[in-house]
Amino acid sequence: MGKDMFDFFRRKTARKAASLEADNENQVPCDTQNETVIQNQYIADQPITGKAGDRFNRAFFATRIAETIATRIDSSSIVLGLYGPWGDGKTSVLEMMQEALTSYPNTIVVRFNPWHFQSEDLLLRGFFATLADAMGQSLPNMKEKAGDLLTKYGSVLSLASLTVGGVVQVNPGDAAKGVGKAMSNVGLDELRKRIEQMLNEANKRLVILIDDIDRLDREETHAIFKLVKLSASFRHTSYVLAFDDDVVSAALGERYGAGGSLAGRAFLEKIIQVPLHLPPADENSLRQLALEGVQNALNQAGIELTQPQVDAFVRHFDDALLPQLETPRRAKLFSNALMFALPILKGEVNPVDLMLIEGIRVMYPHLYTGIRENPALFLRGERDERRNNLQGAVSQIDSLIERAIPELTTDERERVKSRLLQPLFPRIGSTGYGGEWDKIWGAEQKVCSGEYFKRYFTYSVPVGDVPDAHVTALCEAAPVASDAEKRVLLEAFAVRQGLPRVILRLRQREESLTQIQASALITAFAVNGDLLPRERGMMIMADTRAKAGMLIAGLLRQIPVGEPRQAEAERAIQIAMPVGFSMECIHWIRHYEGKPPEKRVLADEGEAPLRAILTARIEEADTVSPLFIAHPKDAPSLYWSWADGTSADHVRQRLETHFDAAPEQLDDFLACYVGEAWGMESGLPSPADFDRRQYDSVSHLIPAEYLAANLRLRYGEELDTPQNYPPDTMVQPRRVAHQFMTVHQAVLHTQSAAAQSAAEEEPDNNAD
């Protein structure tokens, strides 16, 4: 409901502006909106299709491999291994090789992806079916012959018992089931010779490119290398196998040799005759790719950074993120992470901090988790630990970083901490930052602000918080909204318990608001004071309603000093609802000793009219319903203000009139003066005791003896010997009556003793 409402007021504001412009130009305003929809375009992790797209200077490397294969004089088979980590561009190199091989008419290029097949049997059959199709297209005159031979070869081989040594054992019965009785006595060697003869006659060389081997599971990895071991004996055939050698060695080592990666690598050496490592991507090229992705993400989100923001991001990126970029895939992952995060949090967080946090998520995922799960450590720092460090203790921050990125050296971890984490979370460093920085960081929406930290990790605004965009919309909508519409706007925040955060955000923006906005917001909060929560708690010094009073005082300072501000202040006190909120506003508007001069709202003489308005409103409110009934939480302060604005006798007469007519209402009156006590262990509230302070407050308004007589009349002789600490089972009104009488008897005793002492000290004028 809230978002729709704000959108409505945005349109309303836009129509009003358009109407004013049209009136000036004698034109009819247009009531339609033409919005440009920017669709997020994520960077696909696709290889390039040729050397024209080469960004990492690998085209010569790919061309050299292709040339070597295509121009070999030796007709024997050869297997090349193209090694590189995931995402480093092996597939792109294969694409450039295939492009280069097209200039050699004597080659038939076959691309085979083992990922497409779900079992060993399908893998073997699929491989030879792929060869048959490729040869059929390149050798149309031999299409039928090539397809028939390779299909038969694959069919027999797929039923074979494969061994590491390349020995093939075919059960004739199984072979007959697969390809017919005519094939049962035909050996694999004979079929291979026929295929080689066909290639020799055509003067063709097969170049088979196999990719993504490192993405297979262990069984599939074993199967593909069995296949290569058995079929690589074809003459006129070259294989290029692209994979992460560390991953594949680990998979093969589980089955062959002594086990482990070393055994797997020893097995690879038996199959791969030419091992080639992909040249590392140039760091400058990776940096350029990543920064282009960052700029693209910013453009699509509609975010424009200032030059200082650009400088800050690039410095921290170069210092701590660039060394971990490593592969083109990781650069694309970073760009896509920003493509997702920037639009969803636009206007709600600091964009530079968000880009760096997302960089940590992509480059240092375990460190990201450590930050997310330890907000207090990163937001507050560890001052105690720094003192302990003088004695050689390891700080919690350093320990967390070491656990999160153990693969880095000590110097590298220190660089991440000092060049990336400390700029994001200044309190983890050695410099002290006082509480005033929380306001500064909050205004900048930084991740080191407790108000904003969660947004960076949840990609949302938590319940109880509010989007900054909605606060901005409120400031824009309030000047054109009616009183009823203003209430709807605030209710949209109240529903999600967001008014405390709205008030905080507005207080941070006070000085940037226009006079019209300030006046509209004063009205919005003044007339809807009943929506403002009054939180309870042992440590709560000022509830949300009190902070709204502070806000109204701050908004008044945005009104020109003098008559305009005075009139606005008097209007606020007149319309503030309920009357207790009107009194709260005066509390924060008034000037008192020790208050900074820049916080002054009105001149001293300007405060008297506000108190007069409040006094009249209190009088009127009590006429409608006794204050202690209608406004129990505010009653003590309201009665004090009422007596201060009129007289104590005036208030006494009004109270005695109430109690003479309804004596039992005195219990409700006394209850207003009983506060809450909070259990130190349980943390639960309970009614506090009625003590001397409460006694003095009520007896200032109405004689104590009048109150005592009322209580004796209703509770009887038990109050002659009242209990100062009645049992918890006693009902609360009777409990208060006992405590009142306990204090009253003590006061009477003290007064009697003082009078007797004074009489004894008075000189006897009749003495000689």
Question: Got the DSSP string for 590-642?
Answer: S--TTS-GGG--S-HHHHHHHHHHHHHHHHHHHHHS-HHHH-TTTHHHHHHHH
Orientation angle between helical segments 732-761 and 692-701, nearest 10 degrees? 80
Containing structural domain, residue 174: 57-277
Pick out the chain residues at pLDDT < 70: 1-45, 118, 143-147, 153-188, 191, 232, 256-259, 383-394, 538-539, 679-683, 763-768
Number of Cβ atoms within 10 Å of the Cβ of 623:
9
Based on the domain organization, do 296 and 257 belong to the same domain? no
At residue 125, the pLDDT reads 76
Q: Is 685 helix (H, G, I), strand (E, B) or coil?
A: strand
Orientation angle between helical segments 579-589 and 544-556, nearest 10 degrees? 50
Identify the helix (H) or strand (E) that includes residue 161: strand 161-162
Is the residue at 42 inside a domain?
no
Each residue's pLDDT tens digit, 35-62: 333 345 666 557 777 788 778 888 899 9
Is the residue at 37 inside a domain?
no
Based on the domain organization, do 330 and 408 belong to the same domain? yes
Q: Using CA of residue 395, residue 401, residue 403, residue 407, what is the dihedral sign?
A: negative
Say how far apart CA 27 and CA 299 lie, in whole Å. Answer: 35
Residue where a domain stops, chosen among 277, 305, 336: 277
- The 8-class DSSP code of residue 465 comes to B
Say how far apart CA 302 and CA 342 lie, in whole Å. Answer: 9
CB-CB contact of 389 with 375 (8 Å): no
Based on the domain organization, do 308 and 230 belong to the same domain? no
Spatial neighbors of 649 by CB under 8 A, at least 6 apart, are: none
Based on the domain organization, do 233 and 314 belong to the same domain? no
Q: Where are the alpha helices (DSSP H) in 87-119?
A: 90-101
At residue 229, the pLDDT reads 78
Based on the domain organization, do 489 and 359 belong to the same domain? no
Based on the domain organization, do 260 and 375 belong to the same domain? no
Average pLDDT, the chain: 84
Is the residue at 575 inside a domain?
yes
Q: What is the CATH classification number for the domain harbouring 111? A: 3.40.50.300
At residue 162, the pLDDT reads 43
Is the residue at 141 inside a domain?
yes
Based on the domain organization, do 705 and 577 belong to the same domain? no
Is the residue at 45 inside a domain?
no
Based on the domain organization, do 303 and 414 belong to the same domain? yes
Report the chain's C-alpha Rg in angstroms: 42
Based on the domain organization, do 469 and 440 belong to the same domain? no
Based on the domain organization, do 618 and 691 belong to the same domain? no
Residue where a domain stops, chosen among 277, 307, 330: 277
Is the residue at 44 inside a domain?
no
Task: Give CA torsion, residues 472, 476, 481, 487, to 10 deg.
Answer: 10
Residues in the chain: 768
Residue 566 identity (one-letter amino acid): Q
At residue 715, the pLDDT reads 93
Is the residue at 117 inside a domain?
yes
- Domain count for the chain, please give it: 4
Based on the domain organization, do 71 and 136 belong to the same domain? yes
**Cβ burial, residue 502 (10 Å; 0-12/13-18/19+):** buried
Based on the domain organization, do 574 and 716 belong to the same domain? no
Residue with tokens 């779900």: 118
Alpha carbon separation from 697 to 33, 541, 639, 650 (Å, rounded): 62, 22, 10, 16
CB-CB contact of 24 with 487 (8 Å): no
Say how far apart CA 486 and CA 524 lie, in whole Å. Answer: 6
Residue where a domain stops, chosen among 458, 484, 499: 458
Say how far apart CA 499 and CA 464 lie, in whole Å. Answer: 8
**Cβ burial, residue 396 (10 Å; 0-12/13-18/19+):** middle
At residue 11, the pLDDT reads 55
Is the residue at 36 inside a domain?
no
In 3D space, the residue among 452, 446, 457 whose CA is nearest the CA of residue 372 turns out to be: 457
At residue 594, the pLDDT reads 80
